Structure 1
Amino acid sequence: MLLFLNIAQLLLYIGGLGLAGQGLLYVLAGQGRHTNLFYQLIGMVNKPWTLLARLISPKQIVDSQVPFVAFCIVGILYIAVTLAKIEHCLTIGIEACQ
């Protein structure tokens, strides 16, 4: 169980950092962001999260806002997994979680 929680937490952490990096490049690159190689690479890493956000968000959400929705989803899931990991570690004992 602990291995599953660690893997889920790692995947969510990578997704959150990728979405944050893409957001930072969105601001820094300006209008030329779609031709920026790094922006496109981070966009490929974030594709699963943005597709998930597009599926569960209403149609009123504009496509340019979907990465922000994905970041919020990843953040909420990360907090949930972290709380589940803490609860699991308290149940089995702190020594067993190391």
Structure 2
Amino acid sequence: MLLFLNIAQLILYIGALGLAGQGLLYILAGHDRDTNLFYQLIGMVNKPWTLIARFISPKQILDRQVPFVAFCIVGVLYIAVTLAKIEHCITIGMAACQ
């Protein structure tokens, strides 16, 4: 169970960092961001999260707002997995959780 929680936490952490990096490049690259190689690479890494966010979010959410929605979803899931990991570690004992 602990291994599953660690893997889920790592996947969510990578997604959150990718979405934050894409948001930072969105600001820094300006209008030329669509031709920026790093922006495109991070966009490919974030594609699963943005697809999930587009599927969950209502149609009133614009396409340019979907990465922010995905970041919020990943953040909430990361907090949930972290709390589940803490609860699991308290249940089995802190010595077994290392």
Q: Shorter chain as normaliser: what TM range?
A: over 0.9
Partner of 1:83: 83
Deviations 1:57-85 (A, max 9, x none): 00000000000000000000000000000
Deviations 1:37-71 (A, max 9, x none): 00000000000000000000000000000000000
Q: Alignment length, in residue pairs?
A: 98
Partner of 2:70: 70
Partner of 1:30: 30
Partner of 1:6: 6
Partner of 1:52: 52
Unaligned runs of 5+ in 2: none
Unaligned runs of 5+ in 1: none
Percent of counterpart pairs with the same letter?
A: 86
Partner of 1:21: 21
Distance (whole Å) between structure 1 residues aligned to residue 92 and residue 13 of structure 2: 24
Distance (whole Å) between structure 2 residues aligned to residue 52 and residue 97 of structure 1: 31
Distance (whole Å) between structure 1 residues aligned to residue 83 and residue 16 of structure 2: 17
Partner of 2:97: 97
**Which stretches of structure 1, 4 residues or more, deviate above 3 A after TM superposition?**
none
Distance (whole Å) between structure 2 residues aligned to residue 88 and residue 45 of structure 1: 30
TM-score (structure 2 length as normaliser): 1.00
Distance (whole Å) between structure 2 residues aligned to residue 4 and residue 55 of structure 1: 25
SS of equivalent to 1:46: helix
